[in-house]
Structure 1
């Protein structure tokens, strides 16, 4: 174990907002470990979503616990981490904050039409476009959370990463444990 606690950046937003694309590029830019939250959904969650049914809090609880375990472990080893995770509700973000003292969020937002177009263009994902309305309905915007940077996804990913890196520097500094 190291004395340094790695920073954790959660790239959040509804499905189709670009969490995976932007998260991977941000991780590359920061030299951080990238964790794709969707990869850690249990098979039952994937099947439920693929069948067109939205997840509920009970479905998400073990998934969020697993994500907290993964990123807390990496940060505890001194690694910086970028996690792509919807984090739609305040209580989900609060659960992710339990991963350590250095958690910050980047909320990817965008026009409904843009996000729907992106969802319709995806062919290799278990989340069908029909569930986007349930994601929008479940989203509790992080309007008054000081550790959240909001970024509109209308620009190309490379530009978004530049804006995120600059914006993270404006957030209150995370504390190291």
Structure 2
């Protein structure tokens, strides 16, 4: 199977959708949040937005994870900028992306609801939207409404992946 990145701003459901897609496909899950450095996690907890330089090591680690799974993996990663996506694509040129599109209001509500159990500061949601370069229209990108039920999102991503497998 091809690897896929479940992407979008904080609160869009990357981890939830990624876990379900991994379970449905049997591919390993690479949870992007698990690969942030302690320094980056600390910055985000303090409400300090990450810079491109801060993200460099994280993207390198995720790229290596993609290379380590040539049979395919489900990777959760915000992949907010085209340059970040291109960095990941360099690890697997046929890499696919599922973009979970969400409104600022809905993302803020979700991030606020999980604030007690997640390191990401609610004050950073606006920065996520300021950084986001929508991937809609790029090759190998499926755009979905993040507010759809999880089962529907998983089914859409899994069906989309299957169409790529048929062409192999």
Task: Rate the CA distance shift 1:24–1:174 in 2: closer, same or farther, 3 A.
Answer: farther
Q: CA deviation at 1:143?
A: 2.6
Counterpart among 46, 49, 54 of residue 49 in structure 2: 54
1:47-86 superposed matches below 5 A? 47-75=42-70, 78=71, 80-86=72-78
Shift of 1:7: 1.6
Q: Show the 5 A alignment for 1:61-140.
A: 61-75=56-70, 78=71, 80-122=72-114, 123-140=116-133
Kindly report which structure 2 residues correspond to 1:126-165, keeping only aligned pairs within 5 A, or say none. Answer: 126-165=119-158
Distance across 2 between alignment mates of 1:90 and 1:168: 21
Is residue 39 from structure 1 mapped to residue 31 from structure 2 by the alignment?
no
Unaligned runs of 5+ in 2: none
Per-residue deviation, 1:171: 6.4
Unaligned runs of 5+ in 1: 1-5
What is the CA deviation profile of residues 110-167 of structure 1, one whole-angstrom value per residue up to 9, with x for unaligned ones? 1222211111110211111110000000000013311110000111111111112223
Aligned length: 167
Contact 1:142 1:148 (8 Å CA) reproduced: yes
Partners of 1:137 and 1:173 in 2: how far apart?
37
CA distance in structure 2 between the aligned counterparts of 1:67 and 1:60, rounded to whole angstroms: 10
Quick one: distance in 2 between partners of 1:172 and 1:113?
36
- Paired residues of 1:8 and 1:83 also in contact (CA < 8 A): yes
- Contact 1:17–1:108 (8 Å) recurs in 2: yes
Q: Normalising by structure 2, what TM-score?
A: 0.93
CA contact (8 A) 2:104 2:126 kept: no
